[in-house]
Amino acid sequence: MKRIILSRKGFDAKAGGNASPIFHDGRIFSIPIPQKNPSPKKYRDLNFDGVSGSQLLFESSSKTSLSDYCHTDPMLDEKIGIFGQANSSQTELRNNQVGKGDLFMFFWVV
């Protein structure tokens, strides 16, 4: 292993407006981040153990709309295993020659 790269994921002050909620029973849900381009899901489509997208946005005090598109990154709960960087985040990795042999670790902000 050459290097370890840490990457913050999920809804936060920059991507979504506030942190993802921690529910009164201790459960944590990392709300997917907003996306301007069409994607398969909108916030109204979210469901976390019976908690609707509307309730998730309310719990986080977000100004994000139920009709806004969102995406999960990484997407590890849908039997796909998708992970990706885009825009300035991808440029940062490229400029630092991050590649094969490096360990990329991510964490969610709650």
- DSSP labels for 94-110? HHTT--TT-EEEEEE--
Low-confidence ranges of the chain (pLDDT < 70): 1, 73-78, 80-84, 86, 108-110
Predicted local confidence at residue 110, as pLDDT: 55
Q: How far apart are CA 23 and CA 86, in angstroms?
A: 30
Predicted local confidence at residue 80, as pLDDT: 65
Predicted local confidence at residue 102, as pLDDT: 92
**pTM for this prediction:** 0.69
Predicted local confidence at residue 68, as pLDDT: 93
> What range defines the domain where residue 67 resides?
4-108
Predicted local confidence at residue 65, as pLDDT: 92
Predicted local confidence at residue 4, as pLDDT: 92
User: How many domains does the structure of the chain reveal?
Assistant: 1
